[in-house]
């Protein structure tokens, strides 16, 4: 695909924005899940009172469509807590045999994935709990169950002198096995923290969701791997075996199971699926032999959401549709009731959750742009410039709501809970949770109640406001065949051919001048001995659709 084609990229004409930051009473929406029954399409996602990942006061929301995504009901709250309670990171699974829908999610009070203890008490506030909401009427009503004890107990039973601490259902969707010796089994991937490492295992049910147990963690008992599995998606192949894709550094990771998700084989890199280390998905449509994968294909930075296709059981892949060349996050595919392929994804610095749908005949032609191609017109949250063979990308990562400058300026008497993030200093930034704080702002995360956040942050509003903090991630890539000395805003580094320099410490505090101009202009400067460039990332005050 040439530069001219990449530059002429256009967004899908049937795109629907399912959630927009600041609209509908929440300051942030994140983590979309997507699934369909025979007649209804369901999309679940987090409704956040602040920016933070769990533990935080997050509500679990759902939208339904009865026409394969052409129109959608208004969001409804599936679960809302009190105080510090939060319910988030949804994953949907529809059982084709019963029509029952499962909405897996995490429930937290004082501890999330990294802080959780390793007990099995379903009432312990210092555990990250595994919950599932169950619907018998295609998402109209729900009942809630806690799976903490059975999943932790069955998972701990296969470990040697270790125990599961943090655990959560990998956001997106589960899988129903409909062929082979395990036909009728339901499968949901869980991410685990065991002895300081991150691992993955599948929860399985052989009685249509009445009981669940955890399979063997994939990394358990193996020699230390150079990379760890993380948020994953699983699909059933034609013979009833399973293909699992995980987010990974540089490329998606894959592994296969022939015993219904109890155990998995070797973990390898899917070299045809570039990945920025972001949650994606893999899908096997019921009516066709092809497979589809969704992922963010921009190296190191969360951008370039796309759909890829495989016609050989997932051994090779070709990019077939760019969803958003610019800033993008989590993606999820599902087969819709009308047979089309639906996808939900985060875009524009998490400002939007979008839905698009494609007929299968639209997902056939390779559409991957070349490395270093110009930014296409219409791409959101992305700027690119070149300086002497170095390609520089700036990507909008997120927007943090304005807040009191110090803890002493917060009003109210609601209780707070403080987490010392310095305890997790050894965990890489690419896999650690996202917390609403400025770069270099300290090592404490303060959990506040919904009431305290609403009082001190003011009403939720769309777009960018004074005092908001715009976070930007940047990447410089040496595209030459020789080493280069690169200077970036006064810092210098030597880059070998093909080497990258990634920065996650770039930010801009929104001022009145930005609001008057109608946009934030974030500029940085990069230079080599031969050239100098000043890429500028422009973020409109209001999303482009407004």
Q: Is 498 exposed, middle or buried, given 0-12, 13-18 or 19+ CB atoms closer than 10 A?
A: exposed
**Residue 424 token pair:** 């997790």
Q: Is 107 exposed, middle or buried, given 0-12, 13-18 or 19+ CB atoms closer than 10 A?
A: buried
Give Cβ neighbours of residue 274 (< 8 Å, ≥ 6 apart).
250, 251, 295, 297, 298, 299
**Residue 429 token pair:** 């930034």
Pick from 284, 326, 328: nearest CA to 309: 284
Q: At which residue do the structure tokens 């500029």 appear?
A: 523
| Given 26, 330, 345, 358, the catalytic residue | 330
Collapsed DSSP state (helix, strand, coil) of residue 536:
strand
Cα first-last separation, the chain = 32
CA-based diameter of the chain, in Å?
67
Q: At which residue do the structure tokens 């933070």 appear?
A: 52
| Given 52, 231, 335, 454, the catalytic residue | 231
Pick from 511, 507, 512: nearest CA to 523: 507
**Catalytic residue list contains 53:** yes
**Catalytic residue list contains 231:** yes
How many Å apart are CA 543 and CA 546, to the nearest integer? 6
Q: Which helix (H) or strand (E) holds 155?
A: helix 148-156
Give Cβ neighbours of residue 4 (< 8 Å, ≥ 6 apart).
none
Annotated catalytic sites, by residue?
Answer: 53, 231, 330
């Amino acid at each position: 695909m040439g530069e001219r084609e990449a530059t002429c990229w256009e967004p899908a004409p049937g795109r629907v924005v399912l959630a927009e930051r600041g609209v509908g009473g929440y300051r942030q929406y994140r983590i979309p899940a997507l699934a369909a029954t025979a007649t209804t399409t369901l999309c679940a996602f987090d409704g956040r009172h602040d920016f933070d990942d769990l533990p935080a006061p997050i509500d679990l929301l759902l939208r339904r469509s009865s026409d394969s995504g052409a129109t959608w009901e208004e969001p409804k709250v599936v679960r809302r807590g009190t105080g510090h309670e939060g319910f988030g990171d949804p994953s949907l699974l529809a059982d084709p045999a019963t029509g029952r829908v499962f909405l897996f999610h995490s429930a937290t009070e004082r501890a999330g994935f990294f802080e959780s203890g390793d007990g099995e008490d379903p009432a312990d506030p210092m555990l990250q709990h595994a919950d599932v909401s169950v619907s018998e009427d295609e998402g109209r009503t729900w009942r809630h169950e806690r799976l903490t004890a059975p999943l932790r107990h069955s998972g701990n039973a296969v470990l040697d002198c270790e125990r599961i601490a943090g655990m959560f259902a990998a956001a997106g969707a589960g899988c129903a096995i409909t062929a082979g010796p395990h036909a009728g089994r339901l499968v949901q991937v869980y991410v685990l923290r065991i002895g300081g490492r991150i691992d993955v295992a599948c929860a399985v049910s052989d009685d249509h969701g009445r009981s669940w147990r955890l399979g063997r963690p994939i990394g358990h008992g193996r020699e230390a791997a150079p990379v760890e599995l993380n948020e994953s998606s699983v699909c059933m192949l034609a013979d009833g075996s399973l293909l699992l894709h995980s987010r990974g550094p540089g490329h998606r990771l894959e592994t296969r199971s022939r015993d219904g998700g109890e155990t998995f084989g070797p973990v390898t890199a899917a070299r045809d699926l570039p990945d920025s280390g972001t949650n994606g998905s893999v899908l096997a449509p019921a009516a066709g032999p092809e497979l589809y994968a969704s992922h963010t294909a921009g190296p190191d930075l969360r951008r370039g959401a796309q759909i890829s296709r495989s016609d050989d059981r997932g051994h090779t892949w070709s990019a077939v549709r760019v969803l958003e060349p610019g800033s993008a996050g989590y993606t999820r595919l599902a087969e819709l009731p009308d047979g089309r392929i639906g996808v939900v994804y985060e875009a524009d610095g998490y400002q939007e959750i979008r839905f698009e749908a494609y007929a299968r005949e639209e997902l056939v032609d390779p559409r991957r742009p070349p490395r270093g191609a110009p930014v296409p017109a219409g791409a959101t949250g992305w700027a690119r410039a070149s300086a002497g063979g170095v390609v520089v990308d700036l990507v909008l990562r997120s927007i943090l709501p304005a807040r009191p400058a110090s803890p002493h300026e917060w009003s109210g008497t609601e209780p707070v809970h403080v987490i010392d993030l310095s305890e997790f200093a050894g965990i890489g930034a690419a896999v650690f949770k996202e917390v609403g704080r400025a770069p270099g702002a300290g090592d404490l995360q303060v959990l506040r109640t919904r009431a305290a956040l609403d009082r001190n942050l003011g009403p939720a509003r769309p777009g960018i406001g004074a005092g908001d903090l715009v976070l930007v991630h940047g990447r410089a890539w040496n595209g030459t065949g020789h080493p280069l000395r690169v200077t970036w805003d006064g810092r210098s580094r030597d880059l070998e051919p093909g080497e990258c320099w990634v920065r996650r410490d770039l930010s801009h505090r929104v001022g009145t001048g930005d609001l008057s101009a109608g946009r934030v202009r974030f500029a940085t400067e990069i230079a080599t001995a031969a050239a100098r460039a000043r890429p500028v990332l422009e973020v409109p005050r209001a999303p482009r659709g407004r």
